[in-house]
Amino acid sequence: RDFNERCAQCSEVNWGLTDGGRFYCRSCHNVTERTREVVNTDFITNSRVQTISKGLRKPEEKDGGCEWYICEGFQLVLKKQVEALEALGVCPQMKDEILCNFWRCYLQKSKQAYCKRSAGETVKALSVCESSTDVDSDPERPSLLHLLSLSESEGDLQTDCSFASSVSKVSESTSVYSGSVDGSLYLMKNQKEKLRMTMPMTLSFCYMALLWVREPITLSELLRFVVEGHIPYLNVFQHFPEKMKLCGLDLKIFCVESWPVYEEVFNKMHELAAFLDLPRFPDITDSCFLHPDMLCMKYLMEANLPDELHNWTCRVVKKIGIGEVDFLTLMPGNKSTRKVKYDVLAAAVIVVVLKLLFLLDDHYEWLLSEFAEERNKNNTEGGPYFEFKKWYEVVKHSLDVEQKKLDEEKAKYLWRCEKPLFYSVKNKSKVLKRRQMVVNLQNQFGKLSGSVQRAEKPNPSSFQLRWSEENTGSCFHRHSLKGILQEKCGLLTAMNPDYWLCTVKLCNEKLCGHLAHYREVEFPQSYHFVLGLFSFLLRIQPSYIHDEVCMIEHKLFNKKLCKKLKYNTVLRK
């Protein structure tokens, strides 16, 4: 009753006593360092002491935490992510046989585990650590790096004990606060040479494993599942065990305040594959989901385009050779081969086919639409003719609705996690009090305003836009292309013989970062709408799809472009 201080965890005054004499909060069960002072007046002099309370053999860690390392945290993140992928239907072998081996190989290559560190490397690391003010650590911490394996049946990882204990000793005299042992050591500049682990790289690991087992999940789908909350990424550290205290410098490593970016995850995956010296990945054949023919079929259905367009996409893929096994299969470290973005490549093939048939110059596609509309009025047999104008109106309406929903969800997203974060021990009590006040105010205002609770997240799906084939007015899958095709030499060809190129000459991708530059004002609106549609489906910038379109066009019209360039050179001379 005499202890009236507020609890640092919940700000309540409701104390009880543990068996060891410490005060604990009855509201949140937080145990403090304060003990009850007992004055015993019944002590008899000249009596012999019979027993002595030994107390704890090992002093408790600060705030009830334990010693942990940064790679342990990333391993827990990977474990949560691969378990979420298994819940989505990924084969169970990916966790223990693929991703676990990739992770072990990375730890060995980066010299964090499964290796013997030389004395010279240890001294060098410690000298740099001393000069850069390392983490605040307890000198009584054990010196072994104890990792939780990805598989429950796997044993603990083995690392260099001398180096781990040395880091703990160096950290005794430091002032930078961190819950982990090697927080600031991990953030040092020289760690970049070892391909330092980051949160986006956890998704690179997952995508690399998915690609190895050839699962029917593209990178764009993986990132969309992350944004929708089906795969842990944002605030994933909330799932860390209670003993793994996360604070200070650890927040810079595990606290994510932005959505994952396609290019970053994609490029890091290729860097990882080369860094790990992985062999050639399993072949991407025509029966694999990642083959352009298969992905084109999926995106044609989702974009509500006629099924007959699939024959044209297959012809383009075969003509320019982007369906070959050697072109599609990843060969780590081979700089001569182009990095294939399977989903972006398939979307670009569809865009090229639409340009071949409809030109997409804001003029010819509308003329074809008027022609198809007249034919549909007199058509009594077979399926309706495809009208580009009607398709544009139906898809644009659905796209605007879905885009608005996505923007609202992003605007309402609560970036702050439920578990309060603090960067130093001094501010811990203040942060906890403020967090409790914020929660209380939110609950009170919610009751007064009668705000509706957030609905549960929908089940994951490969399709974002769905079209009912029973409704022929809004579904164009079974519409015919006869109105825009003509038979020539036994083959169906487009009535329009013209075609406009997005660019005549490609840029150097290594220097510019793009094969071609995309500006909306320089291209027709129809072309921009089609790019925007696939940009929404893949959740990437339209410029990346434009790059692939330019690459396909140059492969498709290579001979004509060479003749044109030679002709221009002669004219200049």
DSSP of 377-416: HH--SSSPBP-HHHHHHHHHHHHHHHHHHHHHHHHH---S
Note whether 69 and 145 are within 8 A (CB): yes
Residue 502 scores a pLDDT above 90: no
Q: Which of 172, 500, 141, 552 is nearest to 341 (CA)?
A: 552
- Measured CA to CA, the distance from residue 5 to residue 532 in angstroms comes to 59
Mind listing the pLDDT tens digit for each residue in 257-315? 889 999 999 999 999 999 999 999 999 999 999 999 999 999 999 999 999 999 999 99
Q: Phi and psi for 82 in degrees, rounded to 5?
A: -70, -30
The answer to whether 387 touches 373, Cβ cutoff 8 Å, is: yes
Q: Where are the domains of the chain?
A: 1-37, 68-111+195-278, 292-405+464-557
**Would you call 501 exposed, middle or buried from its count of C-beta atoms within 10 A (0-12, 13-18, 19+)?**
middle
Q: pLDDT digits over 365-374, tens only? A: 999 999 988 8
Q: What pLDDT does residue 239 have?
A: 81
- Three-state SS for 545-558 is HHHHHHHHHHHHCH
pLDDT for 130 equals 39
Sign of CA pseudo-dihedral 36, 42, 43, 49: negative
Query: Quick one: average pLDDT of 496-503?
Result: 85
Residue 268 CA to residue 38 CA, distance in Å, equals 61
Tokens (6 digits) for 5:
């201080």
Owner of token pair 């030679």: 566
Distances (CA, A) of 355 to 313, 362, 496, 530, 553: 12, 11, 10, 10, 10
Q: How many residues does the chain have?
A: 573
- DSSP secondary structure code for residue 248 in this structure: B
CA atoms within 13 A on the CB side of 188: 20
In sequence order, the β-bridge partners of residue 22 are 35
The whole-angstrom separation of Cα 475 and Cα 303 is: 10
CA 190 to centroid of chain Cα atoms:
25
Ranges assigned E (strand) in 289-441: none
Residue 528: partners with Cβ closer than 8 Å, 6 or more residues away: 520, 542
Q: Which residue has the tokens 């494993």?
A: 209
Dump pLDDT digits (tens) for 315-331. Answer: 999 999 999 999 999 99
* pLDDT digits 0-9 by tens, 473-484: 688 998 999 878
Average pLDDT score over residue span 2-20: 76
Give the whole-number percent of the chain exceeding pLDDT 90: 40
Q: What is the pLDDT of residues 379-429, one digit of tens each?
A: 777 778 999 999 999 999 999 999 999 988 888 777 766 666 655 566 667
List, for residues 34-58, the tens digit of each pLDDT value: 766 554 444 444 444 443 333 333 4
Give how far Cα 78 sits from Cα of 197, 203, 394, Å. Answer: 12, 8, 41
Strand segments (E) across 383-511: 485-488, 491-494
Position 453 pLDDT exceeds 70: no
| pLDDT tens digits along 157-168 | 444 444 444 444
Three-class DSSP category at 511: helix
> Rounded to an integer, what distance in angstroms lies between the CA atom of residue 95 and that of residue 90?
9
